[in-house]
Amino acid sequence: MHEGNNYRDDVYSKPVRAGKRTYFFDVKSTRGNDLFMTITESKRTGSAETGNVNYEKHKIFLYKEDFEKFIQGLEETIQYIKERQQDAPSAPIESVTSVTSESSIDDEFNAL
């Protein structure tokens, strides 16, 4: 358990690589054993060539009582974009794939 935090270690983690970013979908439990999710966007900044590699991160906490409203808002927003983009020429969409290298997952996660 992390001292000073109201939650325990990760229960589940799903990293998803999407271009220059990695998204971490993490499930944590409270001291009362309620589960909640954190969504973290991690973006690598700097360059390995200069030895100055950092990770910029943004995190949101999503609680079970908000799942339905969150999903509804996300779906409506995605639908809005799809409807308006169907007639416009679009650049190729970079596919979203799961991270397969355990070392790269560990490197990004440890940088958080």
The domain limits of the chain are 7-86+94-111
pTM of the entire structure?
A: 0.65
State pLDDT tens for residues 9-18.
679 999 999 9
Map residue 65 onto helix, strand or coil.
helix
Map residue 104 onto helix, strand or coil.
helix
Q: How many residues appear in the chain?
A: 112
State pLDDT tens for residues 48-79.
788 888 889 999 999 999 999 999 999 999 99
**Domain 7-86+94-111 falls in which CATH fold?**
Nuclear Transport Factor 2; Chain: A, (3.10.450)
Cα 81 from chain centre: 20
The mean predicted confidence, pLDDT, of the chain is 79
